[in-house]
Amino acid sequence: MQTNFTLAQLADPETARSEHILRKCVHCGFCTATCPTFVLLGDERDSPRGRIYFIKSMLEGDRAPTASEVKHVDRCLSCLSCMTTCPSGVHYMHLVDHGRHHIEERFKRPLPDRLMRGLLAWLMPRPALFRWTMMLGRLAKPLATMLPAGSADPGGATFLHRLRAMLEAVPDRLAGPSPVDRPQTFPALGLRRKRVALMPGCGQQVLAPEVNEATVRLLTRHDIEVVNVAGSGCCGSSVLHVGRNDEAMALARRNIAAWMREIDGAGLDAIVINASGCGTTVKDYGAMFANDPEWRERAEQVARLAKDVSEVMLEIGLANVTARPLTVAYHSACSMQHGQKVIEQPKKLLRDAGFVVKDVPEGHLCCGWAGTYQVLQPELSRRLRDRKVANIESLGPDVIAAGNFGCIGNIASGTGIPIAHTVELLDWATGGPKPAALQ
């Protein structure tokens, strides 16, 4: 694609990177067919190619985006299905992150929209505050039915639509803080084979504390020492996806500093991540700090060590398996399959654990969770969830597995089939407790 940036514009490293990305796009449109919003809406402006044109235009023009451009970029899930499909290697993730940052800096959203996005960006990285908000949300949840359910314009949600989606997303039961999520070291049960840091995350600690608990049991049982490093926490993706790049980088720096202390101290073989959305972001820390001479090297070192828990477990191999003869529909989260390209490892482990594993039809399409998307674009999110659930139910599985807590909560809200994190099933098959969803 031809571009028309001035030399002064290209002096900005973020613009230079976007120009490089844009020049790779050959307008072929292959990506449209696998884009969930294009599949739903059939509008070129809601396809990757359409969004690429919008972002190119606003960046080249060095101007505020129009309301229409913002609407179509906002509808993007950041599922990265387009990156898997693109034959030209267009790095859409970096481009849309730049586009969102530009929108955040140059476009004045209506006040309710700003308040909602500001609230989400403030709460999501702070587990303690997020937990209190969830507890208040449980009290207010019965009021959700009094709020408007959906917008006639898909993706044209108002503040009240979003408030309803936010209340509906509040879980009916909320576990207390897990002792696992405090900084500490969990020794390997046998002779130590690896020493890893477990990324504690943020929202998962509140909504699914059982995932870190199962991960610690699974890893230590396989002779891996696990450290929950003081100072590590939110990866920054929840604020990055609403265009707040500076806040995302501040969170990333905190993690990098914390893990580097550990790397330079007792050493780490890997940084284990069990929420694939966070994994995609941490693996990209090197690119995030590519233009920062002070942090670049450390960011690259951390990114190289970042691994999904399934990658580490496949290296080690499962031991002492008690086969569980259940049929598992494996939902590959977008961030797992498109973001990290971790595709076969979780399925291989589940098969090694004795499960019968089935792929979900239309598995490349997002389930509609996509972080804050579930709240900010409730109508599109619900349609994608319902489509995902119908595809899963067509398999008639005993249980659904996924490697991202957000997908798990979202899919669970639309089906009666039990759903668990992949590590919970692996933990159960190797001596841990039965996942709560199956009891």
Q: How far is the CB of 169 from ligand SF4 (least distance, A)?
A: 20
DSSP 3-state percent helix, strand, coil across the chain (nearest 5): 55, 10, 35
Query: With CB under 6 A as the contact rule, which of the stretches 75-83, 205-213, 262-270, 426-434 interacts with ligand SF4?
Result: 75-83
Report how far apart, in Å, the C-alpha atoms of 290 and of each of 19, 255, 285, 353 are.
16, 16, 8, 40
Contacts of residue 42, defined as CB under 8 A and 6 or more positions apart, other chains included, come to none
Q: In what order do the strands lie in the sheet with 224-228?
A: 184-186, 224-228, 194-198, 270-273, 306-308
Sole binder of ligand SF4 in the list 48, 236, 397, 409 (CB under 6 A):
48
Cα separation, 123 vs 131, whole angstroms: 9
Interface with ligand SF4 includes 78 (CB under 6 A)? yes
Nearer to ligand SF4, 99 or 435 (CB): 99
Interface with ligand SF4 includes 45 (CB under 6 A)? no
Sole binder of ligand SF4 in the list 5, 53, 54, 92 (CB under 6 A):
92
Torsion region of 302: left, alpha or beta (phi above 0 gives left; psi -120 to 50 gives alpha)? alpha
Interface with ligand SF4 includes 130 (CB under 6 A)? no
Contacts of residue 87, defined as CB under 8 A and 6 or more positions apart, other chains included, come to 28, 30
Sole binder of ligand SF4 in the list 41, 70, 82, 268 (CB under 6 A):
82
Nearer to ligand SF4, 127 or 339 (CB): 339
Interface with ligand SF4 includes 70 (CB under 6 A)? no
Q: How far is the CB of 204 from ligand SF4 (least distance, A)?
A: 22
Interface with ligand SF4 includes 347 (CB under 6 A)? no
Interface with ligand SF4 includes 228 (CB under 6 A)? no
- Helices 344-352, 309-316: axis angle to 10 degrees equals 50
Nearer to ligand SF4, 249 or 384 (CB): 384
- H-run or E-run covering 402: strand 399-402
Q: Could you tell me the two tokens for 77? A: 């899930």
Interface with ligand SF4 includes 53 (CB under 6 A)? no
Mask for 13-42, x = binds ligand SF4 (CB under 6 A): ------------xxxxxxx---xxx-----
CB 155 within 8 A of CB 195: no
Interface with ligand SF4 includes 88 (CB under 6 A)? yes
Q: How far is the CB of 56 from ligand SF4 (least distance, A)?
A: 11
With vertex at residue 321, the alpha carbon angle to CA 319 and CA 326, rounded to the nearest 5 degrees, is 145
Interface with ligand SF4 includes 186 (CB under 6 A)? no
Contacts of residue 396, defined as CB under 8 A and 6 or more positions apart, other chains included, come to 327
Residues near ligand SF4 (CB under 6 A) are 25-31, 35-37, 48-49, 51, 76-82, 85-86, 88, 90, 92
